[in-house]
Amino acid sequence: MYDDPRSRASGSPTGLSTTPRCRVRCRLGRETTVQQSST
């Protein structure tokens, strides 16, 4: 899914949302994607 180098540095080997920051980021990203597809 989201393979961000920052996520890996955070300590996430898979690059998934493990930290609250990443979670919020993924959430915001999903919302923006949904909004974009809605329009």
Digit-coded pLDDT (tens) for 18-31:
555 556 666 666 66
pLDDT grade, residue 35 (50/70/90)?
Answer: low
Task: Count CB-CB contacts under 10 A for residue 12.
Answer: 17
Q: What is the pTM of this model?
A: 0.24
Q: Please report the pLDDT score of residue 38 as a whole number.
A: 55
Contact 7, 16 (CB under 8 A): yes
* C-alpha closest to that of 1 among 34, 37, 36, 29: 29
